[in-house]
A and B are shown apart, each in its own frame.
Chain A
């Protein structure tokens, strides 16, 4: 098992409420004629920390990209915070400003400084005054432990620093839900820990999170639910203890033996 999450985790704020944050019913998606997501049913409560695992091509990234409509689903319903995602552009913009997303390749804006990356959306989408947006941004940059890099450009930072800026950039919109799409897959081993620590700190504050990741140590330490996907379907979901110690399906057992076996 991974060594990365050895520190003590404060679980006092990690409470799951009854309130439903994300409700996905019978969702299907095709890329052309390829049936990439099949009958997905998923309910996420506020405060849940969900890790989605699975082999590549199983549709896990596509699933979370449907949640903020970076991908369009063709059948079924996705309701975020009571707002259903349809082709109505107003609903899409509303959902997107409530749902933060962190990408595998960071996708920072290279022509803007770190601080400008963080203040852009609050200023232009939320209409926050510049001074206030900058104060908020500095607060979140301190939280991800890189306030001293605020005036640099993303190209001058290391991968781990860039990913932490990307997390701060999302947090500046004060989202209710955070989506992580393989946030550590493009990082050097040395830098994975700093990003995972940032994500753990976020979980400790009670953020609703859905993470697509291969960091099973993180899943065990932080998640309250692990979902295993294969061939566009949810094959198994369980709490981390049972998921790792007691997998039910053969496919899950095989997957776990492959990624934990060495």
Chain B
């Protein structure tokens, strides 16, 4: 047989080999480039082609950017400066329009002396979001809240906010920071109240308004407590009825009476003065906050065993997904007035928010349904077998997993919806992209300016959407639980 006596000498390993470092060609930048850029002739050609395209793009636009003018009062002045500095044939960007009109792109026709109000509202939004979005990481909260505090207070001082309101902002920001250090869940009540505070700060008017809005559900809760011993269903119906009746019949008069006794109002701003990113963010944030819960309810309803609930959900989703958003916006702005009783005025921004919300919710419902369908049947069975009832099983077992699976789809829907807010231009609202630029161009000084506002507005949209996208990736990573 063979010389090694493989059949006759048994082998027992007595020392285990230690692990060694990989060869140099298999690690670091060299390996990365070999694998990703030059892994073969085709890839090498594609890499060179890509570099060529990048070079071509930069070469084409570089002059235009390099010849930017930031200080001018009209497009003509811009052109004169460019010709004077870089010669007759030079082309250049006139970003002076942004310097002159940035306020309209950000705030629309909101009264100039009140710019600090939306600014503060946006700053406080970050505090309200901290316990929702960044509940897991103290470090991220510190960074976010610190940046928010510095930027908000600086902007408020620059925009001339009254001292009282500066003190209020300092109080909330400091309080938010303190609670974030102690126990972030204590900040949740502020998050719950924030929508009312935000609406009041943006539109102004009497503080009694939001207070009496809160009284409605409080009375409803009392009704629920009184009747819940008789019948659960009756109590729920009564609670909803009491709330709605209070809002529709009593809240308006009560606000007026209370205001006469003790005036607690700030200057009110009408909806038609909203514009630019203030308008986009108001509609976008409200739409996002409302469409997610509505989408969850619709998705669960579509999965329901009860025929009526399931059918209503299917009809709603398919109908809303079947019509373009613009149709819904036209319905909001024109048709709704025909159907409502004469004399009812129903705020246009509120109408748009409702339409955008139900539009996004229909898509959201389908995205979440995908997540629900991806859950193994065993999860439902295990929840059942442990005696969890339907709502507890959904809340504790099913939704946390289904929503995690759906995160990319949900955030895509959010991003799409936020960009769709520019469509409000068709119902006469001043979105930052079209209407606001038209308004700026309507002035003889800036007639003919095109690319610069688009780049500015597009840049801000990109920052916000990219931020959402990165957040969704962070969230996915944080919720990664299966190490299989």
Contact = CB atoms under 8 A, between A and B. Distances in A.
B34 interface: no
Interface string B361-399: 000000000000000101101101111110010001100
Interface in A50-109: 68-70, 89, 93, 96-97, 99-101, 103, 105, 107-109
Contacts of A34: none
A125 to B, nearest CB: 5
Given A105-B378, A109-B397, A124-B396, A156 B483 contact: yes
B25 interface: no
Given A103-B382, A107-B381, A110-B401, A155 B387 contact: no
Interface string B20-32: 0000000000000
Nearest to A179: B385
Given A96-B384, A108-B382, A124 B392 contact: yes
B481 A153 contact: yes
* Chain A interface residue bracket vs B: 20 to 34
Contacts of B310: none
B481 A93 contact: no
Given A101-B385, A121-B387, A124-B388, A155 B481 contact: yes
Contact of A111 (B385, B392, B401, B484): B401
Interface residues of B, number: 22
Contacts of A121: 386-388
A169 B386 CA distance: 9
Contact of A96 (B385, B404, B481): B385
A125 B387 contact: yes
A105 to B, nearest CB: 6
A101 B382 CA distance: 8
Interface in B99-142: none
Given A93-B389, A105-B378, A155-B484, A111 B384 contact: no
Contacts of A97: 386-387
Contacts of A156: 483
A98 B292 CA distance: 36
Contacts of B385: 68, 70, 96, 99-101, 103, 170
Contacts of A96: 384-387
A196 interface: no
A103 B385 CA distance: 10
10 contacts: A89-B389, A105-B376, A105-B378, A110-B401, A111-B400, A121-B387, A124-B396, A155-B484, A156-B483, A173-B387
Interface of A: 68-70, 89, 93, 96-97, 99-101, 103, 105, 107-111, 120-121, 124-125, 153, 155-156, 169-170, 173
Given A101-B385, A107-B376, A109-B379, 8 more contacts: A68-B384, A70-B381, A100-B385, A103-B381, A103-B382, A107-B381, A125-B392, A155-B484
Interface of B: 376, 378-379, 381-382, 384-389, 392, 396-397, 400-401, 404, 479, 481-484
